[in-house]
Amino acid sequence: MRAKSCAPVRLTLPPRGQEAGAGRATIHTHTQSGAFPAPSSLQVVAGTERAQAAYPYYMQFTAADDQRFWFYNSMHFPEPMSAFDMVTAEAAYCALGSSTTRVHCLPTTLGIDYRIINGRVYIGGNAVTDPAEIARRTGEFQQRAFYYYGNWERLYAQWREKMLVLIREAQALPKLELPEFEPLANVHAGRGIASNHRLLETYQKALEGYFRMWHHHFEFLLLGYGAYMTFFAFCKKAFPEISDQTVARMVAGIDAEIFRPDEELRRLARLAVQLGVDAEFQEGRTAQAILAALGTRGDPGRTWLEELATSRDPWFNINVGDGFYHYHRSWNDDLSMPFSGLPGYIAQVKAGESLERPIEKLQAQRRQLIQDYRELLGSEQEREAYDQMIALAHRVFPYVEGHKFYCEHWYTNLFFNKIREFGSLLAAHGFFADTEDVFQLTHYEVEAAIIDLMTSWSNGSPPRGPEHWPQIVSERRAAIVEWAKHSTPPALGPVPDVIDDPAIVMLWGITRESLDAWLHAGSDADSRELRGFAASSGVVEGPACVVKSVEEIARVRQGDILVCQITNPTWAPIFQKIAGAVSDIGGSMSHAAIVAREFGLPAVVGTGTATSRIKDGQRIRVDGGRGVVTILE
Q: Does 400 bind other proteins (CB under 8 A)?
A: no
Distance linking the first and last C-alpha atoms of the chain = 32
The C-alpha atoms of residue 630 and residue 623 are separated, in whole angstroms, by 8
Q: Kind and range of the H or E element at 497?
A: none
Contact code string over 186-225 relative to other proteins, x by CB under 8 A: -------------------------------------x--
Single out the residue of 194, 233, 427, 525 in contact with other proteins (rule: CB under 8 A).
233
Q: Judge contact between 277 and 363, C-beta under 8 A.
A: no
Cross-sheet strand order for the sheet of 70-72: 113-117, 120-124, 70-72, 491-492
Write b or e for each residue in 273-312: b if 16 or more Cβ atoms lie within 10 A of its Cβ, otherwise e: bebebbebbeeeeebeebbebbeebeeebebbeebbeebb
The C-alpha atoms of residue 560 and residue 572 are separated, in whole angstroms, by 15
Smallest gap from residue 534 Cβ to other proteins (A): 8
Q: Does 243 bind other proteins (CB under 8 A)?
A: yes
For the segment 92-111, give every residue that binds other proteins (CB under 8 A): 106-108
Nearest CA to 152 among 226, 98, 254, 258? 226
Q: Does 397 bind other proteins (CB under 8 A)?
A: no
∠341-344-345 over CA atoms, to 5°? 85
Smallest gap from residue 293 Cβ to other proteins (A): 46
Smallest gap from residue 315 Cβ to other proteins (A): 31
- Of 246 and 549, the one with the shorter C-beta distance to other proteins is 246
- Of 239 and 327, the one with the shorter C-beta distance to other proteins is 239
The C-alpha atoms of residue 486 and residue 484 are separated, in whole angstroms, by 5
Q: Does 132 bind other proteins (CB under 8 A)?
A: no
Single out the residue of 16, 146, 285, 363 in contact with other proteins (rule: CB under 8 A).
146
∠614-242-561 over CA atoms, to 5°? 20
- Of 273 and 369, the one with the shorter C-beta distance to other proteins is 369
Q: Does 237 bind other proteins (CB under 8 A)?
A: yes
Q: Which stretch binds other proteins (CB under 8 A): 189-197, 237-245, 261-269, 412-420?
A: 237-245
Single out the residue of 286, 388, 523, 527 in contact with other proteins (rule: CB under 8 A).
388
- Of 143 and 274, the one with the shorter C-beta distance to other proteins is 143
Single out the residue of 42, 44, 199, 229 in contact with other proteins (rule: CB under 8 A).
229
- Of 173 and 604, the one with the shorter C-beta distance to other proteins is 604
Strand 70-72 and strand 120-124: the pairing is antiparallel
- Of 317 and 536, the one with the shorter C-beta distance to other proteins is 536
Single out the residue of 35, 200, 242, 275 in contact with other proteins (rule: CB under 8 A).
242
Single out the residue of 369, 451, 525, 631 in contact with other proteins (rule: CB under 8 A).
369
For 579-599, give the secondary structure using H, E and C: CEEEECCCCCCCHHHHHHHHH
Q: Which stretch binds other proteins (CB under 8 A): 29-37, 181-189, 287-295, 370-378?
A: 370-378
The C-alpha atoms of residue 7 and residue 3 are separated, in whole angstroms, by 9
Cross-sheet strand order for the sheet of 529-531: 529-531, 628-631, 619-623, 539-547, 561-564, 580-583, 603-605, 533-536
- Of 229 and 454, the one with the shorter C-beta distance to other proteins is 229
For 249-264, give the secondary structure using H, E and C: HHHCCCCCHHHHHHHH
By CB under 8 A, name the binding residues for other proteins: 5-8, 106-108, 131, 134-135, 138, 141-142, 145-146, 149-150, 223, 226-227, 229-230, 233-234, 237-243, 246, 369, 372-373, 376-379, 381-382, 384-386, 388-389, 391-392, 498, 500, 502, 506, 537, 625-626
